[in-house]
Amino acid sequence: MLEQLSCTCDHCNMPLGDEQLILSMTTDAGTRRAYECSCRAVTITVVGDDVR
List residues near Zn ion by CB under 5 A: 9, 11-12, 14, 37, 39, 41
Q: How far is the CB of 15 from Zn ion (least distance, A)?
A: 10
SS3 5: helix
Q: Are the beta carbons of 26 and 37 closer than 8 angstroms?
A: no
Nearer Cβ to Zn ion (5/12): 12
Q: Are the beta carbons of 24 and 32 closer than 8 angstroms?
A: yes
Q: How far is the CB of 46 from Zn ion (least distance, A)?
A: 18
Nearer Cβ to Zn ion (33/37): 37
Length of the chain in residues, anyone? 52
